[in-house]
Amino acid sequence: MNRKGGIKLILENEKKLIILAKKGNEDAFVNLFQLHYSFLYKYLLKLTLNEETSSDLAQETMLICYEKLNSFNGDSKFSTWLIAIASRLYIDQLRKQKRETNWINQTKVALSRQLTWKAKSQGIEWSDTFTDFNNLEAEFRIPILLRHYYGYTYEEIGELLQIRPGTVKSRVHNGIKKLRKEWTFHDE
């Protein structure tokens, strides 16, 4: 079977699972979630840089998704819908953290010890840009990641994050501008 046919089959299977899950079939919902777990987890990992936090957020996303499944109308892909929920959850979590800790201290995201160790053992090195990127606020990081890694359009990101496409565009632009400034600083 060619690749196109395979994708079509997967999408059809996904549709069937969504219909069943909407009818209250827990097994179908679990299957549906398992199909997208890896995608969701990897997306969260790129934001949190922590395996445990990503896994916890993925679980929470599943519960919200289960609760709001009937509001999913199929206009977008199921994976996109999951990412939208996960992004909002992540932003909420950061806000909570900010409230709980000192509000002056900006919450910085750094690679977890486990991932640092794994990277070292595999000889992986990160670019300076990666550290600078992870020091950016979530409002810049999320649109940049969605635009330049997942290839979503500004309109799609706007829908995902419930902001105007113009705002998304300016956030991506300003985020990269900030990274460029740091880049020039490193070069000097």
Residues that bind other proteins (CB under 8 A): 26-27, 29-31, 33-34, 37-38, 41-42, 45-46, 49, 51, 54-55, 59, 62-63, 66, 115, 118-119, 122, 124, 126-127, 129-130, 133, 144-145, 148-149, 176, 179-180, 183-184
- The residue (of 98 and 135) whose beta carbon lies closer to other proteins is 135
- The residue (of 46 and 88) whose beta carbon lies closer to other proteins is 46
In whole angstroms, how close is the CB of 10 to other proteins at the nearest point?
16
- The residue (of 8 and 118) whose beta carbon lies closer to other proteins is 118
Give the torsion through C-alpha atoms of 179, 139, 49, 160, to 10 deg. -120
DSSP three-state, residue 46: helix
Q: Do 155 and 165 form a contact (C-beta atoms < 8 A)?
A: yes
Tell me how far CA of residue 61 lies from CA of 19, 57, 110, in angstroms: 19, 6, 22
In whole angstroms, how close is the CB of 133 to other proteins at the nearest point?
6
- The residue (of 127 and 153) whose beta carbon lies closer to other proteins is 127
- DSSP output for 2-40: -HHHHHHHHHHHHHHHHHHHHTT-HHHHHHHHHHHHHHH
Task: Tally Cβ neighbours within 10 Å of residue 73.
Answer: 7
In whole angstroms, how close is the CB of 34 to other proteins at the nearest point?
5
Q: Which residues contact 4 (CB under 8 A, 6 or more apart)?
A: none
In whole angstroms, how close is the CB of 62 to other proteins at the nearest point?
7
Structure tokens at 180: 């460029």
In whole angstroms, how close is the CB of 187 to other proteins at the nearest point?
10
- The residue (of 33 and 78) whose beta carbon lies closer to other proteins is 33
